[in-house]
Amino acid sequence: MSSEIDRRRLVESSKRVAFELLIIIVGVLAALAVDSWKKSKSLRISEAQHLSQILVDAKVNADQLASGIEEESKRTRAFAQIVRVATGRKESSRDSLRSWLEDDPFSYSDPRLRLGSIEALISAGDLRLISDQQLRSEIVGYLGRVKMDLEELNRWLDIYVQVFGALDLQDAEIRLRSPGLQQWERDIKVIEKASEDSEVLSLLLNFSNNAFNRTSYMESMLEATIQLSQSIEDNSNSR
């Protein structure tokens, strides 16, 4: 009888221990699940914040590039007409020259794109936070493509410095000779004088040809920026 009681007590004790052990295991698993959920949620929040900032920057870049392309196109067309006059391939009145000069052909757009959020994402090793592999590739590809186009724009500036270094010398000389002239009047005299200098003419032609390439690089960056914005928005909408 005593042996039977001891056996029952042992069984009951084992059941209690097993039950308590089960509760502990369930508790640990639940804690791990909650911790995993919190980490996953934190990663999703970080991902959303990064993508949100990149999207904001991309839209600012797109606006800047679109505005720059419009201005650059006007300047390029005006400059091309001026070069045709300077090279003797087109006759024009001073009024026509003045109207082209009003488009500020001797200036240029200098896009200062916001790339810091992407650069920080990559340099900090946080690119892994972007869960979509294709989107990660697009972000990296966008940064590379835009930087390459910006380098090409900077090479164009070397030509700009050469051309307008020569034109500025002429402008300074004309300013000394005729201090009362307005800016557009001096510009016309600069063009007329440039038409007599073969070296300056060569620089003008080179500049004019490369100005069209400059616009195409800006269009390339705009296309890439719009595509990246669309990809980020699609990614957000699919969640």
Task: Evaluate whether residue 41 is within a structural domain.
Answer: no
Per-residue pLDDT tens over the stretch 64-122: 999 989 888 887 787 777 777 766 666 666 667 667 677 676 677 788 899 999 999 99
Q: What is the mean pLDDT of the chain?
A: 79
Distance CA 157, CA 32 (A): 58
Say if residues 217 and 152 touch (Cβ distance below 8 Å): yes
Say if residues 196 and 102 touch (Cβ distance below 8 Å): no
Task: Evaluate whether residue 30 is within a structural domain.
Answer: no
Span 121-143, average pLDDT: 92
Task: Evaluate whether residue 9 is within a structural domain.
Answer: no
pLDDT at 121: 92
Task: Evaluate whether residue 76 is within a structural domain.
Answer: yes
More confident residue, 125 or 107: 125
Task: Evaluate whether residue 23 is within a structural domain.
Answer: no
Residue 199 confidence (pLDDT) above 90: no
The backbone torsions φ and ψ at residue 178, rounded to the nearest 5 degrees and listed phi first, read -135, 75
Residue 204 confidence (pLDDT) above 90: no
| The total number of structural domains that make up the chain | 1
Could you list the residue range(s) of the whole structural domain that residue 65 is in? 47-237
Task: Evaluate whether residue 42 is within a structural domain.
Answer: no
pLDDT at 169: 61
Task: Evaluate whether residue 33 is within a structural domain.
Answer: no
Nearest to 109, CA basis, from 166, 140, 65: 65
Per-residue pLDDT tens over the stretch 165-187: 776 666 666 566 666 656 656 67
Task: Evaluate whether residue 154 is within a structural domain.
Answer: yes
Distance CA 216, CA 194 (A): 27
